[in-house]
Amino acid sequence: MKKKIWLFAAPLMAAAMIGCKPTDGKKSVKENLVNPLVERLEAIPDTCFIFGHHDDPMYGIGWSFEEGRSDVKSVCGKYPGMMSFDLGGLELGNDKNLDGVPFDKMREEIIKQDQRGGFITLSWHLRNPKTEGDSWDVSDSTVVATILNDAQMKRKMESWLDNVANFLKSLKDKDGKDVNVIFRPWHEHTGSWFWWGQKLCTDDEYKALWKLTADRLKEDGVKNVIYAYSPGTEPKTVEQYLKRFPDGDIIKVVGVDCYQYGEGYAETVDKGLSIVDSVAQQRHLIPALTETGFEGLNDATWWTQTLLPALSKHKLAYVVVWRNAWDKEGHFYAPYPGQISADDFKRFADNPRTIFAD
Ligand code: BMA
């Protein structure tokens, strides 16, 4: 997909992926492109959203690393319109990420997804640079401050970012053109379960971490990313949502990570997305449900009776559900053949609102 074609064909392409017709003509084609990916996301008709799945082509229930296989495709015949992958482990120079996905395979699948006209988003569950624990190691509440104030720790973080930059720059299609991706580091920072979370750093430190990230990747020559900001559901107002919003125009996608745990999902998603809608409109950003799902999908009609209605009031470019883990029993968020919500998922995939890569 070439830049010029995207400029004019983006709305058609988004529509062609699903047979969804753009419903209004208000999405303008801007002359100064930040990144053609922004244009493609902005071209998603207001009434539609891209469906995404984390690690979709890597593994699923009862299988791993089988060429072409995907639980989503096995159920509905189509790949997700968006593939999500995680870079955790890349910072250390590992061959595989924290969930056992080889980075070479990830690069291949990113390129394939781009070739089929689909979208890619990358998260980063990186290690804790100070304690050498994982992302969830919150035993030291000064990690972000140390990265910012201690020269040696800062250099370590920069070298980790250089590894990320090298991977991002290696994403090229068969014609040598950049494959553009959404990068979503420092997510769910409004909770305190990651070392960059709410109680683990100040507002200014969190913002400085973002600046360090964007500046370093830019210095490293990365041109193929746009950044997504994705708090959890803790912010209850636009003001709270924006409290740690990075300065400048780093962020292009605003989202929320919101899962179903027991009752109240519809209401929580609705509140979270109302805030996202407002911020997206005020700042001309792209709204998304950056992570969601119901672990174990113990509800035969979750897709059309819970998820679709919960999203119905909101404009969204995309929705991502989390992984169908090969390594943790019951940890899955998309159906697989025979799973109780599989038939309902087919109806969801046939719904004119949802965009898959077919
Ligand atoms: C979490 C879980 C973990 C996984 C991590 C990064 O939500 O799925 O098992 O390691 O995401 O993918």
Q: Which residues pair with 60 in a beta bridge?
A: 63
What pTM was computed for the model? 0.92
* Closest approach atom of ligand 1 to CA 99: 10
Question: Radius of gyration (Cα) for the chain, nearest Å?
Answer: 19
Token pair, residue 266, equals 């519809």
Query: Would you state the pLDDT for residue 279?
Result: 98
Antiparallel, parallel or unpaired: β 225-229 and 251-259? parallel
Query: Would you state the pLDDT for residue 6?
Result: 30
Predicted confidence pLDDT, tens digits, the chain (358 residues)? 222 223 223 333 444 454 453 444 333 333 334 579 999 999 999 999 999 999 999 999 999 999 999 999 999 999 999 999 999 999 999 999 999 999 999 999 999 999 999 999 999 999 999 999 999 999 999 999 999 999 999 999 999 999 999 999 999 999 999 999 999 999 999 999 999 999 999 999 999 999 999 999 999 999 999 999 999 999 999 999 999 999 999 999 999 999 999 899 999 999 999 999 999 999 999 999 999 999 999 999 999 999 999 999 999 999 999 999 999 999 999 999 999 999 999 999 999 999 999 7
Q: Please, what sign has the CA dihedral across residues 188, 189, 195, 196? A: positive
Query: For residue 325, how far is its CA from the centre of ligand 1 (angstroms)?
Result: 8
Query: Would you state the pLDDT for residue 194?
Result: 98
Query: Would you state the pLDDT for residue 35?
Result: 79
Give the C-alpha distances (Å, rounded to integers) separating 310 from 42, 292, 307. 22, 12, 5
Query: For residue 95, how far is its CA from the centre of ligand 1 (angstroms)?
Result: 18
Query: Would you state the pLDDT for residue 209?
Result: 98
Burial of 95 (C-beta count, 10 Å sphere; 0-12/13-18/19+): exposed
At residue 87, φ and ψ (nearest 5 deg) are -90, 5
* Closest approach atom of ligand 1 to CA 331: 8
Query: For residue 327, how far is its CA from the centre of ligand 1 (angstroms)?
Result: 10
At residue 36, φ and ψ (nearest 5 deg) are -60, -20
- At which residue do the structure tokens 């609705």 appear? 270
Domains of the chain: 11-357 (3.20.20.80)
At residue 229, φ and ψ (nearest 5 deg) are -105, 120
Token pair, residue 162, equals 């250089």
